[in-house]
A and B are shown apart, each in its own frame.
Chain A
Amino acid sequence: MSDEAREAVGDYRFGFHDPENATIRFDKGLSEQVVRDISALKDEPEWMTELRVKAYHHFIEREMPDWGNCGQLNDIDFDNVTYFLRSSDATERDWDDVPEDIKNTFDRLGIPEAEQKWLGGVTAQYESEAVYHSIREDLEAQGVLFLDMDSGLKQHPDIVKQYFGSVVPHTDNKFAALNTAVWSGGSFIYVPKGVHVEMPVQAYFRINAKNMGQFERTLIIADEGSIIHYVEGCTAPTYSTDSLHSAVVELIAMKGAKIRYSTIQNWSANVYNLVTKRGLAHENATVEWVDGNIGSKLTMKYPAVLLKGEGAHAEIISVAYAGQGQHQDAGAKVHHLAPNTTSNILSKSISKNGGRSSYRGMLQVTPKAHGCRSKIVCDALMLDSDSRSDTYPTMEVGNSTADLEHEASVSKVSGDQLFYLMSRGFTEEEAMGLIVNGFFEPFTRELPMEYAVELNKLLELEMEGSIG
């Protein structure tokens, strides 16, 4: 890593990168031809090519958002991004067949080890496409489809055509349009009626090349009465120039189904992370987002749930850690579209070393949604005077029977708590680390144990040197 890069990103544990061995690499920049070439390369059906082209034109015409961190958004140089890079000729099902250099990367991140221990299936995406994919045989026998998105489109075009873009249309926002135009990779999951996938399935996203854009597209459909837990992790090497991650995730929970989508985003501090995540919950269905934002330069991500069916429930738990040079603009959106729907949002953020964390939320109750209940809690912790914390919650209530609560607070670490712990023999740094871990505890307890341990370690690393 160059000194310049090290200075830019600090002590980032996953900042290594392997030599780039691309089998196909597009030139930088975006045009209709690039979009058509990506589609042709993947041998996609015509409807998908046309959708990509339509989305490309929408992306070009659509203005950059005039809210959020406009300064940084306008710094993105879309002409300096590589929109497609293939590192492996095939998606392997056997870990031994994955190209050596890519395998090394994931070995260092512990992917095969985790898979052996507790995963129901795993997809590892390297640059634009999945390089390794597996699913447990018993799940396959139950009819669970877990594929990378490109394979999903090839093998199940009817399902993909029915649901692709149904929750996040390409006209939703500028970055959803960009993703629809150049998407590659991501996961496609279909869980048949009544099937409970007890082990979580996982996807791991890694950007390795410089100025790379990763635009994965994930579509999860849980049929009636089914249950699935999906976990994703993200890392990238540290370069002195910026990379772009602009994903779209669509979740569809049919009647009585439950989808939990957990993310720990630990991109290096030169990655723009501009993601659209939205779930659709039908009658008595549950959609849960468990969202951890530790890395990236600028994150703008607001996991959303459309509560479309009566009795549907949304649960969003998010944490954000904003260190030096970082802006975590995260939040949650819940739209109560049907009667007796409920939601619960918990957001926790920490700002340190001049970092900025923002909670931006939307809670909407439409006139037909009788008897809705919702609770939002936002807590922010400031660890020094250089940092900043903002909350921008919005509550739109169109039904008189709705019962909604929102509360937010911003504070620093309590001197009393620090004193108490230090009087028990902890150093100030250890005490601060314990308090931070405790602050995030409502989030970590919702994660699978291995992830919770990993998150605690990450936070400890981030907290190193935070005192004095």
Chain B
Amino acid sequence: MKYADMAVPSRALHLWRYTPWARIHPASVADVPEASSIRFNVLDGGGHLVDGAPRILDGNDIARVFLSELGTGASTLVTDGNSSVVHLQAVASSHVAVGHLHLALTNDVSVVLHLSGEADWTGLHITGEVSPNVRAGFGMINELSANGKLLHCEDWIVGRDAALELAELSIGGFRCKSDVRTRFIASGSRLTQAISVHGNNQRHVDHHIEIHHDVPHTDSSLHVHAACDDQSHSITTGLLTIAEEANHCDAGQVFKNLLLSEKARAEAIPELEVLADEVAAAHGAASAPVDRDQLHYLMSRGLDDEEAVALLIEGFMQDGFSTLEHQVLVDEMRTRLTVHLECELKR
């Protein structure tokens, strides 16, 4: 289907309820504006980029169709198998920037993508395939400029007996809409996904996470931690489906929001659709202010009010990544988070 033939999605759908298509589109919804390409570079590690990428496209989703029509350039990361870590950089400049990155993960590897740039609007589509028996990790650090908009889609396919870890640290951009979808195509596979969001000023961060268990014996775990300060707004919608034949799946989602100011807002909608009975599926969501007992404990150790709160925010956000096993991802996320919080909270 072409973008021009698609209707603007209804706000009755949770996916578009809080960030309607018109608010994340770079211009008016009827337009497909001129766009320049995001520059992808391999910073270090064992891999190189080649032009072109296979299409893994949900033809019914307006964001993916729009991104595919907006940008013609695409890159594929090919890992060389000798190194277990690859650092990638994606730089978005100009008014509207768009890019498609494909990751063919055929060996045990951790890939870290640093997304930065001054573009007013960034469209990023990441697709990935994890080969059978591979233990792969992909982490993205969104450190776009503070006044940019981001439309970010990810589509992952996880092969037999493979394990995928996805991590995201969202600290950049003014308005961000992320839609990350993972599908298990063979049994024995596993997904561990962790997202930490820091909302400050008037940041609006909307994450939609879909995990589809179409086959039996697949496990997934999703943890989203959002710390919302000032007048920021964090939204997390999840859709976890377990197909009728997908018995012996174990799936869980936890959404936690830490509310730090009177005008901060957070929404959590962890949806569950279960058609098989031999499964364990659960989700949980919680929103709360900073725990007074924890604050009191830290202040009784000599920290002042601001330092104690900052430490609790850092701990809360870092805790989001504690379920990951790829230590490189955990370290990258935590280091960048610490630097970010030190800059932000000292202002």
Stretch at the interface among B51-59, B205-213, B217-225, B286-294: B286-294
| Stretch of A9-17, A175-183, A405-413 with 4 or more beta carbons under 8 angstroms from chain B | A405-413
**Are B257 and A406 neighbours in the complex by a CB distance under 8 Å?**
no
Given contacts A384-B277, A403-B287, A408-B284, contact A390 B272 (CB under 8 A): yes
Contact of B285 among A65, A392, A402, A405 (CB under 8 A): A405
| A423 interfacial by beta-carbon distance below 8 Å | no
A-contact 0/1 string along B261-281, CB 8 Å cutoff: 111111111111111111111
**Contact among A367, A390, A395, A405 with B262 in the assembled complex (CB-CB below 8 Å):** A367
Known contacts A390-B271, A392-B271; A404/B288 CB under 8 A: yes
Q: A400 — which chain B residues lie within 8 A by C-beta? A: 228, 259-262, 264, 289
Contacting pair A404 B286 (CB below 8 A): yes
User: 1/0 contact trace for B234-263 toward A, CB 8 Å?
Assistant: 000000000010010000000001011111
Given A380-B274, A390-B273, A409-B282, CB of A385 within 8 Å of CB of B267: no
> Is the CB–CB distance between A397 and B278 below 8 Å?
no
Q: Which residues of A sit under 8 angstroms from B247, Cβ to Cβ?
A: 385
Does A397 contact B267, Cβ atoms closer than 8 Å? yes
A387, A392, A401, A402: the one within 8 Å of B269 (CB): A392
Interface flag for B14 (CB, 8 Å): yes
In the bound complex, residues from chain A placing their C-beta under 8 Å from that of B10 are 66
User: Nearest Cβ in chain A — how far from B243, in angstroms?
Assistant: 11
Q: Given contacts A66-B10, A388-B275, are A399 and B259 in contact (CB under 8 A)?
A: yes
Least Cβ–Cβ distance between B112 and chain A, in angstroms: 32
- CB contact under 8 A between A402 and B277, given known A390-B271, A393-B269, A408-B282: no
> B283 at the A/B interface (Cβ < 8 Å)?
yes
Most-contacted residue by chain B among A65, A382, A400, A411 (CB, 10 A) = A400
Interface SS of chain A: helix, strand, loop or mixed? strand
> How many Å from the CB of B269 to the closest CB on chain A?
5
Which residues on the B side are within 8 Å of A382 (C-beta)?
274, 276-277
A340 interfacial contact with B, CB 8 Å: no
In Å, the complex CA distance between A337 and B259 comes to: 18
Q: Which residue of B lies closest to A394 (CB)?
A: B269
Q: Which B residues are CB-close (under 8 A) to A393?
A: 268-271, 285
User: Using Cβ atoms and an 8 Å threshold, which residues of chain A touch B266?
Assistant: 395, 397
CA–CA, A410 and B12, complex, Å: 25
**Chain B interface mostly helix, strand, loop or mixed?**
strand
A105 at interface by CB-CB < 8 Å: no
Given known contacts A400-B260, A400-B261, is B285 in contact with A395 (CB within 8 Å)? yes
Q: Report the interface size for chain A: residues with CB under 8 A from the other chain.
A: 36
Complex interface: chain B residues within 8 A of A398 (CB): 265
With most chain A CB atoms within 10 A of its CB, the pick from B228, B282, B285 is B285
Segment 276-325 of B: residues with Cβ below 8 Å from A:
276-289
- B245's closest neighbor in chain A, by CB? A385
A402-B287, A407-B282, A409-B281 as given contacts; A391 in contact with B259, CB under 8 Å: no
Tell me if B289 and A408 are in contact (CB < 8 A): no
| B282 lies within 8 A of A396 (CB) | no
Within 8 A of B (CB), among A353-399: 367, 380, 382-399
> Nearest-CB distance from B215 to chain A (Å)?
15
Residue of A nearest to B265 (CB): A398
CB-CB < 8 A to B285: which residues of A?
393, 395, 404-407
Contact A391 B287, CB 8 Å, known A397-B257, A397-B259, A412-B278: no
CA A216 to CA B224, docked complex, whole Å: 44
User: Closest CB of chain A to B62's CB: distance in Å?
Assistant: 16
Q: Is A67 an interface residue (CB 8 A)?
A: yes
Instruction: Say whether A402 contacts B283, CB under 8 Å.
Output: no
Cα of A419 to Cα of B45 in the assembled complex, Å: 55
Collect the chain B residues with CB atoms within 8 Å of residue A409's CB: 280-282
Q: Is the CB of B288 within 8 A of A385?
A: no
A407's nearest neighbour on chain B, judged by CB, is B284
Residues of B within 8 A of A383 (CB): 277
Note all chain A residues with C-beta closer than 8 A to B278.
385, 412
A402 touches B268 (CB 8 A): no
Separation of A425 and B270 alpha carbons in the complex (Å): 41
Q: How far is the CA of A366 from the CA of B30 in the complex (A)?
A: 34
* Cα distance, A48 to B298, chains bound together (Å): 63
Task: State A367–B266 Cα separation when bound (angstroms).
Answer: 11
> Would you call B267 and A411 a contact (CB within 8 A)?
no
B263: A residues at CB distance < 8 A: 367
Contact with A along B4-46 (1 / 0, CB 8 A): 0000001011100000000000000000000000000000000
Instruction: Kindly report which residue of chain A lies nearest to residue B257, judged by CB atoms.
Output: A397
A391 in contact with B272 given A400-B259, A409-B282 (CB within 8 Å) = yes
Name the residue on A nearest B229 (C-beta).
Answer: A400
A399 and B283 within 8 A (CB): no
List 6 other contacts, CB 8 Å, given A386-B244, A406-B284, A410-B282: A67-B12, A388-B275, A400-B262, A404-B286, A406-B270, A408-B272
B contact residues vs A (CB 8 Å cutoff) = 10, 12-14, 228, 244, 247, 257, 259-289
Some 24 contacts from A to B, beta carbons below 8 A apart, are A65-B12, A66-B10, A382-B276, A385-B276, A387-B277, A388-B274, A390-B271, A391-B271, A391-B272, A393-B270, A394-B268, A400-B261, A400-B289, A402-B287, A404-B285, A404-B287, A404-B288, A406-B268, A408-B272, A410-B280, A410-B282, A411-B279, A411-B281, A412-B279
Ordered nearest first, which 6 A-B pairs have the shortest CB separation? A400-B259, A382-B277, A406-B285, A409-B282, A407-B284, A410-B281
